[in-house]
Amino acid sequence: MEKPDEKQPTTPTLPETQVLAVSSVVSADQVTASVRTERSDSGAAAGRPAPLLSLRSEIRVWTRDLLIAIGLALVIIVFLYQPVKVEGTSMAPLLSDQERIFINKFVYRFEPIQRGDVVVFWYPLDHSKSFIKRVVGLPGEAVEIRQGAVYVNGKIVPEPYVPPQYEDLSDFGPVRVPKDNYFVMGDHRISSNDSRVFGPVASRFIYGRAVFAYWPVDHFGSLSTTEAKTQ
């Protein structure tokens, strides 16, 4: 922008009479032809690049939006969700061996652990290993198993996620779950190493909740964690 107090150099021009003299030698036909040519050229210049410019602009917008979407997805996956691979069959039929799922790593910063949640935690006897089980008993509750049926504080807990062929008909307990601890069990009761063996799991060892299965494709979908509420 020019500053108002600066003086701009002037460009010398031909005297007015000379300009008029030059203009006067151009015939009317030449003027008409010149005007038509200029209009034609300006119309072509204005008309031809317009679709190309519009296409380029649209491509830039789509590219920008795609990059933003990819960036947000990466941030969510890295900082909020974590992909993990399930090894073993202790959570069958909900989860199968080698299945890939996402766990939510921050959910328990905003809400408490609930009965029925499928959680991932550091194995209490070896913190280099991670286990995935279902929460059955909450802090302060008395857990007992009678011929395979789970009782919490004397009331039976419905477990539709445990098929009859996976039930363990043995007895256990009763045991009182300590403060800030959770009693966890696998859905495949006859082949699960869980709190019946290594005891309740401290809340500080629980670092995520299973929320979504993505591989294999026939298991693709949300993992329900609210089916074990005490009636």
The backbone torsions φ and ψ at residue 34, rounded to the nearest 5 degrees and listed phi first, read: -65, -45
Is 170 in the active site?
A: no
Three-class HEC string of 98-130: CCEEEEECCHHHCCCCCCCCEEEEECCCCCCCE
The answer to whether 150 and 174 have CB atoms below 8 angstroms apart is: no
- Beta strand pairing call for 181-185 and 130-137: antiparallel
User: Of these residues, 128, 130, 133, 222, which one is catalytic?
Assistant: 133
Q: Using CA of residue 139, residue 144, residue 149, residue 152, what is the dihedral sign?
A: negative
User: Of these residues, 23, 24, 42, 90, which one is catalytic?
Assistant: 90
Is 133 in the active site?
A: yes
Cβ-count burial 56-88 (b if 16+ within 10 Å, e if not): eeeeeeeeeeeeeeeeeeeeeeeeebeebebeb
By annotation, the residues acting in catalysis are 90, 133
